Homo-oligomer: A and B are copies of this chain.
Amino acid sequence: MTANPYETDLDANPANYEPLTPISFLARSAAVYPGHTAIAYGDRSHTYKETYARARRLASALKAKGLKEGDTVSIMAPNIPAIYESHFAVPMMGGVLNALNTRLDAAALAFILDHGDCKLLMTDREYSSVITEALSLAKSNPIVIDIEDPAAVGGEFIGEMEYEEFLATGDPEFNWSGPTDEWKAISLNYTSGTTGDPKGVVFHHRGAYLAAMGNVISWTLPKHPTYLWTLPMFHCNGWCFPWTITAVGGTHICLRKVEATAMYDAMQRFQVDHMCGAPIVLSMLINTTDENKAKAPHGIKVMVAAAPPPAAMLAEMDDMGFDVTHVYGLTETYGPSVCCDWNTAWDEKTVEDRAALKARQGVRYHAVAGLEVMDPETMTPVPHDGNTMGEVMLRGNLIMKGYLKNPKTTTASFEGGWFHSGDLGVVHEDGYLELRDRSKDIIISGGENISTIEVENVLYGHPKVLEAAVVARPDEKWGETPCAFLTLHDGEAATEAEIIDYCRENMARFKCPKTVVFDELPKTSTGKVQKFVLRERARNL
């Protein structure tokens, strides 16, 4: 048998093959839009040409410090230029970017610095105290670079050089080369982990490239968007948006602190047209003054993910003139990887029905090869009846490389050729899926599954309720019963009976909370309610 001619003398070579990497987006935007503003932060701004030169300086400075391919570079910073630049500079010299969650305590940071084998750490002055403590706890001994930002509150320099000074040692014409293999690691993101040690999710160049392309296509991002950052870049690499917005030559608008007034001021000043945010950010936009609300240009496109936002919140955003797209993803899927593609036939529905539809999911990004809701025991898809719950599973090019130094969990999460998300959902007749809960959050009462998200959605419909979180409370008779933790709008008061009555009018009786607690909700840095804290409180009631 002769060789197939399609496989003969037709090999990859430098002319027709290059490993995919999102670093290329910065080089391209610097070449074709050199004068366009890449990033604006307070009164600073940098064009693409400047940002590219700064990133090349940083890459070459890191290399000169002895960093080499496969080395981990950590950064502790809010959304300021240094962390944006690091998303390109660190992989440019072959390093792996590990952006640290700024709300972690010293012990957690020390664990991450050691587990990720950090070789160099850049840290914003404001965090010098917790970082100093973390370094004293950690076994690793990284080179430390301080980042000075006049807006930082307190702290002091603890490293050997300041960031701008460090940049000045670098070469703005540094001749970087992309990865030799697109499967090489580009970043390391520790999941916020509500229990146990954090897991280090490893991204590769190929996945980051395809995730950025996916954000552009699924959101129909035009060229040159003006994008307001609310999501921390340290969270899942800001859902890959440092790369995404750069790919389309957009302008990154950064804020050191995410507050309603700061966000609305930036929307007005920069005429923002796109932003992403967790439901907590939507809540901040909704619960503010009319003066603030008047500042927003009409029709800002908002991508919202994390927990499924309550329908009432989506309806309110719609009323305010924001154009919300609901997406779904996890750190393990490079952030958003499934979106609620709007069906124009839904335009004529009521605002409530539209919001309920908007909370659904189902349209996978192009690079996601498969999306199913399955019984994890049998790996068979659930019926499309809008009722039978199963675990959301995904596979394809938007799934992480795996968990660092954790083969057991990596293997378990990829069992059967699918990534097991740990999220529970149902599939509707039209094929759209609706998330119901994290598998560990589900309440089993008298043998019936109760979705805490479903109960929360009803609670959000109550006019006095600002925030709601529902968890299981142990019960001798039923096994578990729903327990609701609520905060109310300013100046409002409510009784437990009033809330329970409202629930009974709006949902099946067995799903109604048996207990209602009015109390502040504990949250992670990304605004997710820490249900494990609430479960503990419910247990001790």
- Which residues on the B side are within 8 Å of A16 (C-beta)? 207, 395-397, 399-402, 414, 419
User: Is the beta-carbon distance between A20 and B417 smaller than 8 angstroms?
Assistant: no
By the criterion CB–CB under 8 Å, are B247 and A4 in contact? no
B17, B363, B364, B397: which contacts A17 (Cβ < 8 A)? B397
Given A6-B185, A10-B202, do A32 and B397 touch, yes or no (CB 8 Å)?
no
> A6-B96, A18-B397 are contacts. A369–B24 as well, Cβ < 8 Å?
yes
How many Å lie between the Cα of A12 and that of B9 in the bound state? 27
Contact of A431 among B32, B369, B414 (CB under 8 A): B32
Chain A 1-51 residues near chain B, CB threshold 8 A: 4-10, 12-18, 20, 24-25, 28, 31-32, 34
Closest to A5 in B: B405
Q: State the oligomeric state as a number of copies.
A: 2
Cα–Cα distance between A374 and B204 once the two chains are bound (Å): 33
Per-residue CB proximity of A95-132 to B under 8 Å, as 1/0?
01000000000000000000001000000000000000
Chain B residues whose CB sits within 8 angstroms of the CB of A413 once the complex forms: 15
Binds B, one of A163-171, A217-225, A256-264: A217-225
Judged by a CB distance under 8 angstroms, whether A341 is at the interface is yes
In the assembly, what is the distance between CA of A138 and CA of B16, in Å? 32
* Contact present for A223 and B341 (CB under 8 Å): yes
A5 contact set on B, CB distance < 8 A: 117, 404-405
**A418 proximal to B (CB < 8 A):** yes
Whether A407 lies near B9 (C-beta < 8 A) is yes
Known: A32-B362, A96-B6. A395 touches B223 (CB 8 A): no
Inter-chain contact A395/B4, CB cutoff 8 Å: no
Q: Assess the B70–A6 pair: CB atoms within 8 A.
A: yes
The interface residues of chain B lying within 8 Å CB-to-CB of A358 are none
A248 at the interface (CB under 8 A from B): yes
* CB of A335, distance to nearest CB on chain B (Å): 15
**Are A410 and B217 CB-contacts (below 8 A) given A16-B401, A363-B32?**
no
A418 contacts B15, C-beta separation under 8 Å: yes
Query: A395–B18 contact, CB under 8 A?
Result: yes
Residue with the greatest number of chain B CB neighbours at <10 A, chosen from A362, A363, A364: A363
* Interchain CB contact under 8 A, A202 and B6: yes
Give 19 pairs: A residue, B residue, CB < 8 Å, sorted on A: A5-B404, A6-B184, A6-B202, A7-B184, A9-B402, A9-B405, A10-B202, A10-B410, A14-B395, A15-B395, A15-B417, A15-B418, A16-B402, A18-B395, A28-B366, A32-B341, A32-B431, A213-B217, A220-B223
Which 6 A-B pairs give the minimum distances between C-beta atoms? Answer: A14-B417, A16-B399, A6-B185, A15-B414, A9-B407, A4-B70
